Structure 1
Amino acid sequence: MDLEIRPSWRDQLGLMLLIVLLVLATVTSGVVGMADMPAGVVTATLAAMTVLAVLVLLYRHYVWRFQISDGAIESHYGIISRDVRSIRIRDLRNINVRQSILQRLLGIGDVEFSSAGGAGIEVTFFGVAGPMALKTRIQAIEAAPED
């Protein structure tokens, strides 16, 4: 079984709200203008901030990739450079789910994996949708007999 997931878009709601507010501010600044600053400067500044926020949103979503293959659980971080953390399913000791109150309401959370040979959390899937269902799915894979 191969499964590849990324952090949920719901994990970025705060940044999405900021983008919406920046877009509204950009549109209204072009209409209203500011008394002490030219309207074009304000609009250009707000538009640049909006573009930057959108780039941060896309970066945060696409920089993480989580993969569950037949024998391993991997967390890939990075676009240009890479940081890959991996744990074999047969060495899996603990699967923990961490959710704040807001994350529980949104149906997202962090899933942490540790192995028998490690001294702590070795792989973490950040901001994934349905963390409890993912935990159950991985436990089923872990319990299945190897071919």
Structure 2
Amino acid sequence: MRKLRSTQSVNAVAFSSDGKLLAVGSGGNQDNQGQMRLWDPATRQPVGDPMASTRSVDAVAFSPDGKLLASSGYFEEQGGDYSVRLWDPATQQLVGDPPNLDNTGEFTAVVFTADGKALVCGGRPAKSFFRSSGDDDGIVRLEDLGSWPGRTVPR
């Protein structure tokens, strides 16, 4: 077994579709320090600097074409909030602004649709388009990437 070394609790992992990158989300431990980092699985070395410094990164997912990376977690910029972010793995920069998901829900799952045109976000509790039960104990949202806030996502 080959190991990658992380100094924090690992919450989420995802491979790019070509297998050349591994995204690792961590945090939520006692020191409340988390990050998202890319790794080269072949060399077992980090690629660049951590992409997010936060309390916790709870979910990560690559788009089918590998041009986008989604993350969800607690981000401390602008007063702190649970949000979903899009990143460009090549530049390791944010793509657009976090969407206003009509709530302050905690999104703990993200996945791209097979065609890469939308992002599905899941978590708890929040207003949503789709409710998982009548007592609002969970949410699922489908976000159109063509209308991502602050920037048109290149497709």
Q: What TM-score bracket applies, with the shorter chain setting the length? A: under 0.3
**Is the radius of gyration larger for structure 1 or structure 2?**
1
Q: Which protein has the bigger strand share?
A: 2
The two structures have a TM-score, normalised by structure 2, of: 0.24
Between Structure 1 and Structure 2, which shows a larger proportion of helix residues? 1
Query: Taking CA–CA contacts closer than 8 Å with sequence separation of 6 or more, which of the two structures ends up with the larger relative contact order?
Result: 1
